[in-house]
Every structure is written in structure tokens, then in C-alpha cells.
């Protein structure tokens, strides 16, 4: 734990180099500052880890689930390649050695920044000296909340398991039915949204039905599963170069995915997608990966929102305008980097923000016991985003990577993707089990995560 207390990644404020950390980090008679972190995702967890065992802080991290989730591999749970415990780990377990950190499972429903308090669904109120709001984003239906009832999202483990259950159950029903029309509906998956989530999911579905499940069924041919990827703009993977977009399109088409670009969804009803051109497509599985919006808690802070998706634009130190004790980070932030580009909603950005907030709090605490205490707000370090790039996997053996001037496609990109994703999985057990699981599935094409556990009625 020692090395994470030494934060070298954040530049100190302009006067900070003169200062020495006081010998006793918590001066006698002073009480620790209460830090409330909402969200145990990439940003919140990183902040808690950085403040771990620092006696100047009493940290409470609250999440509505009991685990930290590695979202980049959710699509593998949805397509029966990995099991849920491979990509999630209990927050308590991760933070068990951090004696100043309390983990609570509660859903924050109310924020009252004027009185430094938050309230949970449990009815508990949480008072704080500093708040770090890192509650992420949720699926957005562009003002059509009724579509939620007919679609499946991919933001949580429950949702990933819901997709897997739905698609596997549909294949079972297709094996049973005698009706051609019904079978065709049961064997159609529509994925709305041609970003990384849609591309990764559609590629993985083709792997599942062409390779893994190929020999499992007798009456149906699983490779008849129709995967339709729908994108409103003219190309897939809009954040990547045009060449990489074309590569993704060709690769997915070769895998059997039906791609419809320039296609807008006008309506979604039960098991049916209606398009803006008047056509419609019946599908027993409709996956919505077309948009996100900030956690609704951002709307309770009384500050102007950055966009219609409810994101917040903080000050350079990541605190909120008018609320220097409230920080925001991760996907719910809308901020530009030093080159003027928007910082993408990716895990490394969230981690860097969590790390930055912890560094600001430590710096501030240090200044409080010096002659610079009056200037502590002006001396706060600015957040600087270090862009590590973006990557998306396209079925087995292929990916696209875009990092600085580097553009990789194909097998090399896939290897880079594999290495990085395993490296960043939280916890050794997960890394090892994911690696072994993948190696086995890769060699044998037989994922053992295809058991359907029925939803409790
Ligand atoms: C399917 C998918 C694939 C992705 N692939 C990649 C990828 O390949 N590479 C990459 O870098 N990024 C990827 N991302 C994006 C990446 O996961 C996010 O950028 C990152 O998770 C953002 O971190 P965060 O801390 O802001 O939010 P999150 O990690 O979403 O954490 C937010 C946390 O807040 C909790 N929470 C929410 N509301 C409340 C509440 N009211 N009370 C208490 N707790 C609450 C949630 O339970 C959650 O644990 C992917 C995302 C998805 C969904």
C-alpha cells in the first residue's frame, strides 16, 4: 500500500516545492477530514486507494453494488465467454487493508452540497468535508424512456447477464419451435449503436454462434443467428480513423454481421425496431448501445450542466464552480484536454481523475499547516490528462488500436488489447482466471459460461 501513497503523477501547485510534509501527518488535536466518495468505479476506487491509510482522512466510499466492475470486459459476460466473478471484485476485499476507508453499499439519492450532506436509499445521511462524485453514466434513450422496457443495456453485470440469458434462451426456444416465422424472430439480434460496445458485442456474438455453440444444437444451425448492427452515422467506431472504421466494417461483415449505417431508429416496440425510413425489423433481442447520459445526481448540484446528457464541467482542479469541496470525475465529466479535445469516457481518464482528486486533497491538507494555508485554493494543482489511446476488439484475433500517432489493426492490435485488458483487471485471481479461461476458450472454442439461470419472478 505504501507505494500508492507516493503520488508522483500529479504536478504540485506552484509554491508546493518549498514545503515539506509535516512529520506527524495528523497534527495533535485535529480530526481527520471526512471524504465521501460516491461510486466505486474506476475514478472512485482510485481516489480511495490513493487516500488509503493516510490518517489525515476518514474516507467513506459508497456504491449501490458491492463490487468494482471492469466494464471493458462486460461484453464477454454478455456473450458467454467469461463468468461474472472474472470481471468484478468485492470493494470490501479490495480495500480491506485500508484502515481509514469504510465501504458501504447504498444508493445515493439526494445531494445537498449547501449543507455538505448526501442521503442514501437506506435513509442514512452522510456528512462530509469533501465530496467526490464519481457515479458514472447510464444508458440514454434520447428522450424515449419507454424504449428501456423493450431493450437490453450493457452497463452492469446484471445487464450483461440479462443479454446472455435472453440470447441463449432464444436459441433454446428456436430449437423447440416448429414455426419458421417465430424461429426467425428468435434468431435475430439487433444491436443499436456502432461504437466500441456495439462492435465488440456483434463480433463476439458471431464467435459464439459460429464456433462455440456450433455443435450444441440439432434442429437449428446456430450460425443462422442474424446479428444486425445499426448505426445512425455514416461509419462505425466514429472516434477512430476512417481507415480503422472501414477495417472494422469489413471484418464484421466477413464474420457475418449485417451492418446498417446511416440508419436511424425511430421507435422500439416489443420485439420490433422501427427505422426512420419506415421499415421495421422483428428481433427477440434488441440491445441498446447507442448513447449514455450522466448519472442523474449531477442535476442535484445546482451548477450549470455541460450538455443535454447532464455532464458537468469542473474547474481545472476538478472541483465544481462555487463548491471547492465538491469534486467530480470519470465519465460524468465533460472536460477538454490541453489540445482542446474532449477527454473520452474511458477507464484511464477516470483513473487519472480519481488519482488527481486524492492528490489535491493531500496537498491541501499539507498546506493547512503551513504559512500558505490562506492560498490553498489557488495552489491546487490542475488536472492534466495523459492520453493512452483507445482500442476495440472485433471478434476473435482482430482489434483496432489508436494511441497518439500509432494506428494498429488486426492481430497485433488484438494482442495489444489482450495484454492491456488483462494487465488492468483488478486483483490477481481475476487476472489469472481470465487468462486461463481465455486460453482454454481460445484453444477449444468451448466457453463453459453458457448455463442459463432463470430470472426470479
Ligand atoms: C460495455 C462497456 C465497454 C467499455 N470498454 C472500455 C474499454 O475497452 N476501454 C476503456 O478504457 N473504457 C471502456 N469503457 C468505459 C469505462 O468502463 C468507463 O470510462 C469507466 O468505467 C468510467 O469510470 P467511472 O468511475 O466514471 O464510472 P463507473 O466505472 O461506471 O463507476 C460508477 C460507479 O458508481 C456507482 N453508482 C452509480 N450511481 C450510484 C448511486 N446513486 N449511488 C451509489 N453508487 C452509484 C455504480 O454502481 C458504479 O460502480 C467501457 C464501458 C462499457 C459500459
pLDDT of 298-340, one tens digit each?
Answer: 999 999 999 999 999 999 999 999 999 999 999 999 999 988 9
Query: Which among 133, 63, 136 has a CA at the least distance from the CA of 95?
Result: 63
Q: What is the grid cell recorded at 6? A: 507516493
Taking only the tens place, the pLDDT of each residue in 160-180 is 999 999 999 999 999 999 999
C-beta separation of 422 from 431 below 8 A: yes
215 C-alpha to ligand 1 centroid (Å): 36
Q: Which residue among 50, 71, 349 is best mutated to probe the pocket of ligand 1, counting the most ligand atoms within 8 A of its Cβ? A: 71
**Confidence check: pLDDT of 11 > 60:** no
Handedness of CA 167, 419, 329, 236 (dihedral sign): negative
Handedness of CA 193, 198, 199, 205 (dihedral sign): negative
Tell me how far apart the alpha carbons of residues 58 and 36 are, in angstroms, rounded to a whole number: 9
Q: Judge whether 2-139+293-375 and 145-290+390-444 match in fold.
A: yes
Handedness of CA 214, 191, 81, 396 (dihedral sign): positive
* 357: confidence class by pLDDT, cuts 50, 70, 90: very high
**Which residue do the cell numbers 484502515 mark?**
99
The whole-chain average pLDDT of the chain stands at: 90
Asked about 200 being catalytic, the answer comes back as yes
Atom 6 in ligand 1: which residue has the minimum CA distance?
Answer: 72
Task: Tell which atom from ligand 1 comes closest to the C-alpha of 417.
Answer: 8
Tell me how far apart the alpha carbons of residues 91 and 373 are, in angstroms, rounded to a whole number: 34
Q: Which residue among 37, 38, 39 is best mutated to probe the pocket of ligand 1, counting the most ligand atoms within 8 A of its Cβ? A: 39
Give the H or E element holding residue 139: strand 137-139
**Confidence check: pLDDT of 90 > 80:** yes
Task: Tell which atom from ligand 1 comes closest to the C-alpha of 348.
Answer: 11
Taking only the tens place, the pLDDT of each residue in 371-388 is 888 888 888 999 999 998
Tell me how far apart the alpha carbons of residues 34 and 43 are, in angstroms, rounded to a whole number: 18
Tell me how far apart the alpha carbons of residues 25 and 297 are, in angstroms, rounded to a whole number: 33
Q: What is the grid cell recorded at 320? A: 465544481
Pocket of ligand 1 (CB under 6 A): 38-44, 62-65, 71-72, 74-75, 107-108, 134-136, 154-155, 196-197, 295, 297, 330-331, 345-348, 350
**Confidence check: pLDDT of 156 > 80:** yes
Strands 57-63 and 33-38 turn out to be parallel
**pLDDT given for residue 394 in this prediction:** 94
**pLDDT given for residue 25 in this prediction:** 62
> What's the rounded mean pLDDT across residues 276-285?
97
**pLDDT given for residue 451 in this prediction:** 77
Atom 7 in ligand 1: which residue has the minimum CA distance?
Answer: 72
Residues above pLDDT 70, as percent of the chain: 90
Tell me how far apart the alpha carbons of residues 214 and 10 are, in angstroms, rounded to a whole number: 51
* 214: confidence class by pLDDT, cuts 50, 70, 90: confident
Tell me which of 1.10.10.10, 3.30.530.20, 3.90.1150.10, 3.50.50.60 is the CATH number of domain 2-139+293-375: 3.50.50.60
Tell me how far apart the alpha carbons of residues 265 and 281 are, in angstroms, rounded to a whole number: 11
332 C-alpha to ligand 1 centroid (Å): 9
Give the H or E element holding residue 111: strand 108-112
Judged by phi (left if over 0) then psi (alpha if -120 to 50, else beta), residue 241 lies in: beta
Domain 145-290+390-444 has CATH 1.25.40.20: no
The C-alpha angle with vertex 364 and arms to 362 and 368, in degrees rounded to 5, equals 120
Q: What is the grid cell recorded at 449? A: 459460461
* 8: confidence class by pLDDT, cuts 50, 70, 90: very low
Residue 320, judged by CB atoms within 10 A of its CB (0-12, 13-18, 19+), counts as: buried
Q: What is the grid cell recorded at 180? A: 419458421
**pLDDT given for residue 371 in this prediction:** 85
137 C-alpha to ligand 1 centroid (Å): 7
**Confidence check: pLDDT of 438 > 90:** no
* 23: confidence class by pLDDT, cuts 50, 70, 90: very low
205 C-alpha to ligand 1 centroid (Å): 23
312: β partners: 333
> What's the rounded mean pLDDT across residues 82-106?
94
**Confidence check: pLDDT of 40 > 50:** yes
**Confidence check: pLDDT of 421 > 60:** yes
Per-domain boundaries in the chain: 2-139+293-375, 145-290+390-444
Residue 366, judged by CB atoms within 10 A of its CB (0-12, 13-18, 19+), counts as: buried
Q: What is the grid cell recorded at 233? A: 452515422
**Confidence check: pLDDT of 212 > 90:** no
Catalytic one among 58, 200, 231, 363? Answer: 200
Q: What is the grid cell recorded at 11? A: 504536478
Q: Which residue among 41, 390, 420 is best mutated to probe the pocket of ligand 1, counting the most ligand atoms within 8 A of its Cβ? A: 41
Q: How large is the greatest C-alpha to C-alpha distance in the chain, in angstroms?
A: 82
Query: Which among 280, 345, 357 has a CA at the least distance from the CA of 316?
Result: 357
Whole-model pTM: value is 0.91
**pLDDT given for residue 22 in this prediction:** 45
Tell me how far apart the alpha carbons of residues 137 and 62 are, in angstroms, rounded to a whole number: 16
Taking only the tens place, the pLDDT of each residue in 103-128 is 999 999 999 999 999 999 999 999 99
Amino acid at each position: 500500500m505504501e507505494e500508492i501513497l507516493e503520488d508522483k503523477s500529479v504536478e504540485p501547485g506552484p509554491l508546493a516545492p518549498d514545503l515539506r510534509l509535516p512529520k506527524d501527518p495528523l497534527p495533535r488535536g485535529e480530526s481527520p477530514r471526512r471524504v465521501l466518495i460516491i461510486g466505486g468505479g474506476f475514478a472512485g476506487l482510485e481516489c480511495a486507494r490513493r487516500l488509503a491509510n493516510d490518517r489525515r482522512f476518514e474516507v467513506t466510499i459508497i456504491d449501490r453494488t458491492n463490487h468494482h466492475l471492469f466494464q471493458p470486459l462486460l461484453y464477454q459476460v454478455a456473450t458467454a465467454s467469461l463468468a461474472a466473478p472474472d470481471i468484478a471484485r468485492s470493494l470490501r476485499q479490495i480495500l480491506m487493508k485500508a484502515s481509514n476507508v469504510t465501504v458501504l453499499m447504498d444508493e445515493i439519492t439526494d445531494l445537498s452540497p449547501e449543507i455538505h450532506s448526501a442521503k442514501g436509499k437506506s435513509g442514512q445521511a452522510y456528512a462530509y468535508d469533501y465530496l467526490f462524485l464519481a457515479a458514472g453514466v447510464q444508458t440514454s434513450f434520447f428522450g424515449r424512456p419507454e424504449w428501456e422496457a423493450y431493450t437490453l443495456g450493457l452497463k452492469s453485470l446484471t445487464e450483461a447477464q440479462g443479454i446472455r440469458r435472453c440470447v441463449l434462451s432464444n436459441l433454446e426456444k428456436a430449437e423447440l419451435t416448429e414455426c419458421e416465422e417465430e424461429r426467425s424472430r428468435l434468431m435475430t439480434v439487433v444491436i443499436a449503436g456502432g461504437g466500441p460496445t456495439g462492435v465488440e458485442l456483434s463480433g463476439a456474438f458471431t464467435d459464439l454462434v459460429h464456433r462455440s455453440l456450433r455443435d450444441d444444437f440439432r434442429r437449428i444451425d446456430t450460425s443462422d443467428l442474424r446479428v444486425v448492427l445499426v448505426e445512425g452515422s455514416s461509419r462505425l467506431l466514429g472516434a477512430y480513423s476512417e481507415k480503422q472504421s472501414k477495417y472494422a466494417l469489413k471484418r464484421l461483415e466477413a464474420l457475418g454481421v449485417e451492418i446498417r449505417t446511416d440508419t436511424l431508429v425511430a421507435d422500439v416496440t416489443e420485439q420490433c425496431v422501427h427505422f426512420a425510413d419506415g421499415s421495421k425489423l422483428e428481433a427477440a433481442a434488441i440491445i441498446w448501445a447507442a448513447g449514455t447520459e450522466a448519472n442523474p445526481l449531477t442535476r442535484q448540484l445546482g451548477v450549470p450542466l455541460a450538455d443535454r446528457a447532464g455532464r458537468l464541467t469542473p474547474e481545472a482542479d476538478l472541483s465544481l464552480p462555487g463548491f471547492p469541496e465538491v469534486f467530480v470525475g470519470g465519465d460524468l465529466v465533460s472536460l477538454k484536454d490541453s489540445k482542446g479535445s474532449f477527454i473520452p469516457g474511458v477507464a484511464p481518464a477516470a483513473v487519472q481523475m480519481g488519482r488527481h482528486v486524492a492528490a489535491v486533497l493531500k496537498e491541501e491538507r499539507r498546506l493547512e499547516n503551513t504559512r500558505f494555508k490562506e492560498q490553498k485554493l489557488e495552489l491546487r494543482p490542475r488536472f492534466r490528462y495523459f492520453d493512452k489511446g483507445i482500442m476495440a476488439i472485433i471478434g476473435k484475433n482482430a482489434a483496432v488500436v489508436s494511441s497518439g500517432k500509432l494506428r494498429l489493426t488486426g492481430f497485433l492490435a488484438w494482442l495489444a488489447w489482450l495484454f492491456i485488458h488483462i494487465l488492468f483487471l483488478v486483483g490477481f485471481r481475476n487476472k489469472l482466471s481470465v487468462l486461463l479461461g481465455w486460453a482454454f476458450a481460445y484453444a477449444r472454442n468451448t466457453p463453459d459460461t453458457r448455463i442459463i439461470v432463470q430470472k426470479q419472478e
